[in-house]
Amino acid sequence: MRDAADRLHYLDEVMDLLFPPSHPGVRPGVRPGVRTGVRTGARSVLPHRLVPRRVVPRTWWHRALGRGLPVGGGIDTIETHLSDVLGRRMRVVVHVRPARRANRKPILEAYDESGLAGFVKVGDTPRARRLVRYESEVLRMLAGRPLKVVVPPDVLYHGQWRGLEVLMLSPLPVPSLRVGSRRVPAPLLASAVREIAAIRPYGEEADSGEAAAWQGDFTPWNIAAGTDGRLLVWDWERFAVGVPLGLDALHHFFHRALRRMPPPVAARSCLAQAGGLLEPFGVDVAQARRTAVHYLVTLAERHRRDGHEPLGPPAVWLNPLVDHLEFLL
C-alpha cells in the first residue's frame, strides 16, 4: 500500500478512538459538567487526502479541498475530556502519523480561546501506553532538577480516558517554523549531552563511565536552539540511566547520517567518527569505539523489542560491522 493509504487507514482508526459516535437518545456535543457548545463537527484533512498531514476543525474555505471527514459526535470525545479536566473549551488538531512506526501514537495540538495550549500524546496500544506513562514520570522528575542548558516541556495533564493514556505537554518557544530546520551549534549540543548525562533520577552522586544517563531519542527533529541560548528538547520516553557517556551524541550523529546515506554506511561512519564525537566529553578513542558499538547494538535491540526494524535486518546494517569487533563489547 502507498504511504498515504497506510496513513489514512490508521487515521480512520485514530479518529474512531478520539471521537466515538453518539449513543442513541443522547444529544451530541453536550456532556454533563462541561460547558455546552463543545462539539466535534466535521474535520478536514490537510493539505488534502492524497498528502494527509493534519486533521483540523472544518471551516468554510475547506470546501475547495474536497469533502469533509465525518467524525463521531458522542458526548465523550477527546475534546470534551480535555475541556472537562482543564476547565475550558478545547479543540484539537490531529497529526497524521506514519502507520508503520513501532512507537506510533496519536499526537494532537490542543487549542483554547487564546491559541495553542499544548501538545497531547495518546497511548493507544500497550507499548504506547507504557511510553506515555514513562515520559510523564521522567518529565515530572526533570521539573525538579535545576537544569541550566536543557529545556524539557512541562506536564500540564496526565490521566486515563476510555482506556487510553493521555499526556498533555506545554509548547516550547521554538524560534523557527520547523523543528530541526536550523543546525544547533556544536558547543550547545555538547553542553546539553553533558547535562543530560549527569542527571540522576534518585539523587545519587553523578560520576562517569557506565553511570551516565541519556535522553534516548536525541535526534535533530527532537531538539531546537532556544532564543535564550538553551536547548529545547522533546520526546523523553526513552530516557535511561546506567549507559556509557556520549550515547546521545552518537544517536544525534547517526540519525543525521541516515538522512544522507543507507544504514550500513551510516553505522560505519558512526564507528569511524566516534573518537571525534566523544572527545569533548573526555572519552579516549578506544573507549569511544567501544561506546559506538554499544550504542549501535543497543539501538538494534530496541528495534527488536519494538517488533519493528526501520533500518532493515541487523544482519545487513549492523552485523558486518560489529561481528569482528566483539572484543570491544
- Whole-structure pTM value: 0.85
* pLDDT exceeds 80 at position 327: no
Q: b or e along 40-55 (b: 16 or more beta carbons within 10 Å of the residue's beta carbon)?
A: beebbbbeebeebeeb
* pLDDT exceeds 80 at position 96: no
> What digits encode the pLDDT tens for the residues 140-176?
999 999 999 999 999 999 999 999 999 999 999 887 6
Q: b or e along 57-96 (b: 16 or more beta carbons within 10 Å of the residue's beta carbon)?
A: bbeeebeeeeeebebbbbbbbbbbbbbbbbeebbbbbbbb
Q: Which helix (H) or strand (E) holds 80?
A: helix 78-86
* pLDDT exceeds 60 at position 216: yes
What pLDDT score does 322 carry?
Answer: 87
What mean pLDDT do residues 58-77 have?
A: 69
What mean pLDDT do residues 68-81 have?
A: 81
Reading the block at residue 278, the C-alpha cell is 566523544
What pLDDT score does 28 carry?
Answer: 40
Of the pLDDT bands very low, low, confident and very high (cuts 50, 70, 90), residue 205 is: low
Angle at 233 between CA 230 and CA 92, to 5 degrees: 125
> What digits encode the pLDDT tens for the residues 98-122?
656 667 899 999 999 999 999 999 9
Q: Name the residue with higher pLDDT: 210 or 315.
A: 315
